[in-house]
Amino acid sequence: MRVYYINTSKMIRLILTASLFGLTALFLTAALLMPGGGPNTGSGVICRVKTDEKIAALTFNISWGSRVPGPVLDVLKKENVQATFFIGGTWAKNYPELARRIVHEGHEIGGGWEGLVGFGVRADTAFKDLLAKSRNDIQEVTGVSPALFRITGGNWDAALQAVAKEDYRLIQWSLDSLDIQTPGPNQIVNNVLNGIQPGSIILLNASDTASQTPQALPAVIEKLRKEGYKLVTVSSLLELGPGLAD
């Protein structure tokens, strides 16, 4: 008869390691799907504009991919709507034709935080250098130097905010369509309509992850117009009143 000995210490370490990986994966998934804004928004970050007029801004985050931006731009062109796109320099360099199309069709470009990405970027690169590189890349591709800046995931690091506010107006959002979660086009439309108010900055996405946004966007625009809303860029909205942080 063979006798087997179980190394309980090793087994416990394996269980703890597996649990740690599971919790890490769960945290990362939740971070991607959580709506931004909320408690991690810095006090100097504009989320909406104080106004009594039925005017709101459509904004789009783009951090990767080339399949969704074109159809989104097609809808905006057909509906004669100007929006604000927050993009990173790496994306602009990877897809210069799309980045230039955003500008050529009358939309506004803001900078989007893309973190430690891009060829030759070191993990200890200072925020100021990363922001400058991204801004320079966007300007090189589009001819536009962004005046607005957004943390695309919604979680503002205090050190990053302190550096970014030296050169940008910091923009977040007050209304999240949750399109990045692909809940269905109808739900995306309802999310916008149920939260709209004068001065809203509406978050939509045009990265390839947001595959349902092009289908939902025509109805978003149509129904907001039926509610009496005019849709403008963020800078145009800011001309109407002071920016608010909540």
- Which CATH number does the domain housing residue 226 bear? 3.20.20.370
Residue type, 144: V
Structure tokens at 106: 């009358």
The answer to whether position 1 is within a domain reads no
Q: Is residue 163 part of a domain?
A: yes
In a domain, 8, yes or no: no
C-alpha to C-alpha distance for 179 and 52, rounded to whole angstroms: 27
pLDDT greater at residue 26 or residue 243: 243
Would you state the structure tokens that stand for residue 244, as one six-digit string?
């608010």
19, pLDDT greater than 80: no
**For residues 67 and 34, which has the higher predicted lDDT (pLDDT)?**
67
pLDDT at residue 113, rounded to an integer = 80
Q: Is the pLDDT of residue 71 over 70?
A: yes
- Kindly state whether residue 18 falls inside one of the protein's structural domains: no
Question: And the tokens for 46?
Answer: 């504009």
- Mean pLDDT on 1-30: 43
Q: Say whether pLDDT at 175 is over 90.
A: yes
CA–CA distances in Å: residue 233 to residues 32, 48, 106? 25, 12, 10
Which tens digit of pLDDT belongs to each residue from 94-134? Answer: 999 999 999 999 999 999 986 545 445 555 568 888 899 99
For residue 129, being part of any structural domain is answered with: yes
Number of structural domains the chain divides into: 1
Q: Taking 70 as the threshold, does the pLDDT of residue 16 lie above it?
A: no
CB-based contact 191:224 (threshold 8 Å) = no
- 4 belongs to a structural domain: no
Residue 12: pLDDT band by 50, 70, 90 thresholds?
very low
pTM: 0.81
Domain span at residue 201 reads 37-244
Asked whether residue 24 is assigned to any structural domain, the reply reads no
